[in-house]
Structure 1
């Protein structure tokens, strides 16, 4: 099994809470991305070397699909058992994760994400984390950010 290949995601359970976003994996485990996501529009650029997880919910906001971007630690069999997908991008490579959601890897080891929630037909969250911190974002339309 590899930690460097793309893996297709499965549908996961999602619960939007006052204090964060909870995801239930296929294997029954749950994780809570803590905090109210910061609203963003346009392009979100992550800090270099941070783990990037992208979650797109369905219109009911009870299910969604999650992709890890450039995760080189988690083996394919673990991702498949959990239902999380993965995309590995080379420098300056870009890919559409889902309709309305694009990711790009920059030369500075950063990830750029652009999303249009209307095209995605659900809510689009990005979770950025490392050993010291976790930050949550939600893409909103320009009119919603005012």
Structure 2
């Protein structure tokens, strides 16, 4: 009998992580952004403070930039905070709930096929992990 989670805890904050391409030989997950939720509103900001970046990653930003990090394609690094379309943008990385095999997708992550997680919880429990993603999400 396979065990699965039906009732998921609701996260309050997620970290956007980045991994350098395989050929660079550094597979560390770098926490590069923070996603907060308040009600139905999500916001995204890059980790720009050196002290916060070091606390999350154990290294300075110069190493990340040296590996080629250019930001998440949908969120400009020039804006301090993004409030518009954050959740829908991130959800595009996952299959739609309307797919007939969506229950099987949930099972890949140890979730019950009839679980009904919020979009934010779904991003957290799947880590926004779809084939070839270099931007997993982590619960903070």
Fold-level similarity (TM above 0.5): no
Greater RCO, 1 or 2 (C-alpha within 8 Å, sep 6+): 2
Q: Which has the higher strand share?
A: 1
Q: Which has the higher helix share?
A: 2
Normalising by structure 2, we get a TM-score of 0.29
Based on CA coordinates, which of the two structures has the bigger radius of gyration? 2
